[in-house]
Amino acid sequence: MNPNRILNLFIAAAVLFCSLNFSNASYAQLRRGNNERPAENRVEQRRNQGAQRNNGNIRNNNPNNENRPIQQNNTNRVGNGNTVNRNNNTINQNNNRVNNAHNNNVNINIDNSHDVNVVNNRNTVVRRNDLSYYHRPPYVYGGRRYYAVNPYFYHPFHPFTWGPVWHPWGFFIATLATTAIAVTVASKQYHYNQGVWYAPSSGGYTVVSAPVGGTVATLPTGYETVVVNNTTNYYYGGSYYEKAGTQYKVVAPPAGAVVTNLPQGGKEVKIGNQTYVQVGDTYYQPVQVSGKSKYEVVQVES
């Protein structure tokens, strides 16, 4: 055989062998590349997540808020009505807040949110006497004169409660007793029950001062009889009544009236060097009558 032909055949075989090896190597490298790319992607994802953590961003694993980013450096994050406080680890769901401290000091009787319609000074303008009625000079302070029949005699004020059915001004109830009666005074609606007057309030009724002019058929048990200028008054729970035909009518506190007890809601006030008890806008002077501590309605003049 021709030597040149043999050489050409050898060179062609070598070229073919090299081409086949290069193709196999490329194909293997391509397969390795495809298999390694997910791993590279996972590494890249971890790097991205690490960068997000460094920036203060984390994933919320709460099933109620899937895939929702929450800023750690943001004190309050609101989502779906839930408030999350990362610093205090406090979660207030549906914006409902519970203050456990209130559980230790709960007053279920007095609800001040219902006092917006309460006018406690409705019957606190006293019925004045002619100044000749007083045989003692008034106590003068701050440009005002405070008239009283009995001399000033201080004794500490202790609020009084007229039995279990009596309530002080501002007391709120959701429903009235079946014995309560409706009374209209000056086109306003009230309810009266055993010496206590109620006015409609949001969600129920609030105890108010007895409205002057209101009439009732009977007096509550435990009333006190007070006579001023030959006029008989009946006192109960801070309110005064007079006989009007077959009924009893609410009147303003008569100046000079002396009573044994004052209701809850009164407060001691210092006027100069004397201490009075103020109930609504009415001032009571502490006195002593027949050796007993009592209070007299003061007539104040400018």
| Residues 22 and 155 reside in one and the same domain | no
| Residues 10 and 145 reside in one and the same domain | no
Note whether residue 95 is domain-resident.
no
Note whether residue 281 is domain-resident.
yes
Torsion angle in degrees (nearest 10) through CA of 286, 292, 297, 298 = -40
Question: What average pLDDT score do residues 35-51 get?
Answer: 51
Provide the number of structural domains found in the chain.
2
- In this structure, are residues 249 and 263 in contact, taking their beta carbons and an 8 Å threshold? no
Alpha helices per DSSP H over 64-195 = none
Q: CA angle 242-167-108, nearest 5°?
A: 165
pLDDT over threshold 50, residue 113: no
Residues 163-195 have pLDDT tens digits of 999 999 999 999 999 999 999 999 999 999 999
Note whether residue 27 is domain-resident.
yes
Domain with 273 in it:
112-301
264 contact partners, CB below 8 Å, separation of at least 6:
159, 160, 161, 168
Two structure tokens written together for 270: 């210092």
Residues 257-278 have pLDDT tens digits of 999 999 999 999 999 999 999 9
Cα 270 → chain centroid: 30
pLDDT over threshold 50, residue 64: no
| Residues 185 and 261 reside in one and the same domain | yes
| Residues 284 and 178 reside in one and the same domain | yes
| Residues 35 and 122 reside in one and the same domain | no
- Rounded distance, CA 145 to CA 136, Å? 12
pLDDT of residue 112: 40
| Residues 133 and 39 reside in one and the same domain | no
| Residues 126 and 42 reside in one and the same domain | no
Two structure tokens written together for 221: 């048990």
Note whether residue 20 is domain-resident.
yes
The DSSP code sequence of 188-218 is EEEEEETTEEEEEETTEEEEEPPPTT-EESS
Note whether residue 188 is domain-resident.
yes
- Average pLDDT, whole number, for the chain? 76
Alpha helices per DSSP H over the chain = 3-54
Note whether residue 200 is domain-resident.
yes
| Residues 206 and 283 reside in one and the same domain | yes
pLDDT over threshold 60, residue 42: no
Percent of the chain with pLDDT over 90: 58
Q: For residue 285, how many other CB atoms are within 10 A of its CB?
A: 25
Note whether residue 94 is domain-resident.
no
pLDDT band at 88 (very low <50, low <70, confident <90, very high): very low
Q: Which pTM was predicted?
A: 0.60
For the chain, the maximum distance between any two Cα atoms, rounded to a whole number of angstroms, is: 165
Note whether residue 147 is domain-resident.
yes
| Residues 194 and 117 reside in one and the same domain | yes
Last-in-domain residue among 37, 55, 73 = 55
| Residues 150 and 257 reside in one and the same domain | yes
Last-in-domain residue among 55, 75, 95 = 55
289: left (phi over 0), alpha (psi -120 to 50) or beta: beta
| Residues 13 and 140 reside in one and the same domain | no
- Rounded distance, CA 180 to CA 220, Å? 12
| Residues 174 and 32 reside in one and the same domain | no
